[in-house]
Structure 1
Amino acid sequence: MSSPRKYPWFYRPLEWLLLGLAHLPFSVLYLLADGIYLLLAYVIRYRERVVLENLRNSFPEKAEAEIRQIARKFYRHFAEVMVETLKLAVLTPAELKRRVLFRNPEVMERWFAQGRAVLGLSSHAGNWEWVLTSGAAWLSAQADGVYKPLSNPFFEDFMYRLRTRTGAGLIPMRETLRNLLRHRGQPRVVSLLSDQAAGPEDQPYWTNFLHQDSGFYTSADRLAPQFHFPVIYVSIRRQRRGYYEIVLTELYNGDAPLEPGKFAITESFVRHLEHDIRLFPSDYLWTHRRWKHKR
């Protein structure tokens, strides 16, 4: 799939450096990740205030020592996600399938067999960059992800190529509805990162999430009944360094009537995500200002 944007020539050395690093074996890349972890956690203290504030508010029952331990584990995980994402530049679909196990792909495959498209709701947990790319390797139907293009032309181009190497497609957020109409009736999964903070202009659904009043996008509740999409919660869980497991849970069958104004699909997604975060708190993206908007 072609790159969506061209970038200035002076980014070429950076591209060569990143591609050179991507060709290094995982063992070397994880040594690099150890260095990035130390830099983020102890030298520049990257968004430390945001991380600690998010953790304290999300787990008020935990002591300060445990909060800081989770923060340190998060920084290590974050550094590993960085090098794992870079490795997408050279990973083959077969290697990605070996490292990301879809525990129950039949939850989606049964809908593909009926010629249906599904919505997959995922989050910034585990290695979120490996979800769509591994889905393209595992599933029999096309895997497309809705995303917000980056403002920097080089990084937009580079990340676009990483994310589509295994056959996945990307849909710019502003073109979502047009894309769904154009491909109506085609079996595929359309993936949404549904944990992002929705602003007041998005008319969010407000609910309690990790002890905090939180606004969520309501795309799934609006699109699923309109297009008769079954909705699947996608949980990615780290098994060990460089290996993950994806578990699929059906939230909605695409045909049942939904009570207006209740946002049952989004509420179900929130509860499943909250459960996963409590099980693996250090594997969530705590640098994000998730609760910056107020009701």
Structure 2
Amino acid sequence: MIGFSLLPLPVLYAVARGLYGLMAYGIRYRERVVLENMRNSFPEKTDAEIRQLAKGFYWHFAQVIVEILKLRTISATELRRRVTFTNPAVLGRFFPEGKQVLTLGSHAGNWEWILSAAALEYPGKAGGVYKPLMNPFFEQFMLRLRSRLGAHLVPMLSTLRDLVAHRGQGRTLSLLSDQAAGPEDHPYWTDFLHQDTPFYTGADKLAAQLQCAAVYVGIRRVRRGHYAITFTELHDGQTILPPVEHQLTEAFARQLERDIQASPSDYLWSHRRWKHKR
């Protein structure tokens, strides 16, 4: 995989063209899930429009795959050139105060590049929560890939412990908050893309317990291989946030919904986001 990662990005995008053809027309990767998710999310669109969006998703996903592999060897200079922060002060203003910030992201754009780019933008301040993989080889590969440019990684079950251990140290901890929460997670349910949708509520609980600030992370593809990150403050970490009201989760859902509607194909539609029912 390292040898593959050493190839220039233009060559990797040529490989992505092949992956796109394979996923969209060959094996039809999770086609039923992709089409069902899109039809339910955009009931106003015709079947022809949905299928066109699906093709756009497969092309987006093929690019993200090779970009993630490139992260294993990409230089800091190259990543800075390809990922820009439109308003970095929105996040950075909390660090001098010693405030911990929960950055709430999603599987939109290239979610793997964001954390490494943030580690370069805010040296020593950027961390991310991840779910450990069962396969030891891929677990180690992904850990090296995600941390090589300075990001601090925290296993999902150690999130609270890590935040407590670093309390008073201005830094950010990234949560991908759009995954499918199951009944055992006691999720917050809200209307999202025209569907009754469960969300994890960890951000609400952590912000209330530890007085963390919270920032939404929006990502926009500017052109092939280039992304713009925009932060939106959801909570300043000062006022009291009753976790039972789920204000952060609701605000995150609304921001993400707007971003997906603005650029539908750049979201991870192959994920079974709506597999759970209330």
The alignment's TM-score, normalised by the length of structure 1, stands at 0.93
1:140 Cα offset (Å) = 4.2
Q: Secondary structure at the match of 1:49?
A: helix
**In the alignment, what sits opposite 1:12?**
none
Q: Specify whether residues 154 and 100 from structure 1 end up closer, same or farther in structure 2 by C-alpha distance, changes over 3 A only.
A: same
**In the alignment, what sits opposite 1:36?**
19
Query: 1:80-128 deviations in whole A, cap 9, x for unaligned?
Result: 0000000011112221111000111101111012121101000000000
- Measured in 2, the distance between the counterparts of 1:260 and 1:19 equals 44
Q: Is the counterpart of residue 293 in structure 1 residue 276 in structure 2? A: yes
1:258 Cα offset (Å) = 2.3
1:259 Cα offset (Å) = 3.9
The alignment's TM-score, normalised by the length of structure 2, stands at 0.98
Give the conservation status (yes or no) of the 8 Å contact 2:220–2:229: yes
- Measured in 1, the distance between the counterparts of 2:80 and 2:243 equals 40
Give the conservation status (yes or no) of the 8 Å contact 2:125–2:170: yes
**In the alignment, what sits opposite 1:230?**
213
Q: Secondary structure at the match of 2:268?
A: coil
Of the structure 1 ranges 222-231 and 43-52, higher mean CA displacement relative to structure 2 is found in 222-231
1:278 Cα offset (Å) = 0.1
Give the conservation status (yes or no) of the 8 Å contact 2:208–2:242: no
**In the alignment, what sits opposite 2:151?**
168
**In the alignment, what sits opposite 1:117?**
100
1:55-94 residue pairs with structure 2 within 5 A? 55-94=38-77
| Aligned equivalent of 1:181, options 138, 147, 164 | 164
1:1-295 residue pairs with structure 2 within 5 A? 18-259=1-242, 261-295=244-278
**In the alignment, what sits opposite 1:9?**
none
Query: 1:24-64 deviations in whole A, cap 9, x for unaligned?
Result: 11110000000000000100000000000000000000010
Q: Which structure 1 segments of 5+ residues have no match?
A: 1-17
Of the structure 1 ranges 282-291 and 110-119, higher mean CA displacement relative to structure 2 is found in 110-119
Q: Secondary structure at the match of 2:129?
A: strand
- Measured in 1, the distance between the counterparts of 2:92 and 2:124 equals 8
1:206 Cα offset (Å) = 0.3
Q: Secondary structure at the match of 2:71?
A: helix
Give the conservation status (yes or no) of the 8 Å contact 1:238–1:244: yes
Q: Which structure 2 segments of 5+ residues have no match?
A: none
Give the conservation status (yes or no) of the 8 Å contact 1:94–1:137: no
1:261 Cα offset (Å) = 2.2
1:134 Cα offset (Å) = 0.5
RMSD of aligned alpha carbons: 0.9
Aligned length: 278
Give the conservation status (yes or no) of the 8 Å contact 1:120–1:234: yes
Query: 1:257-285 deviations in whole A, cap 9, x for unaligned?
Result: 22452101100000000000000000000
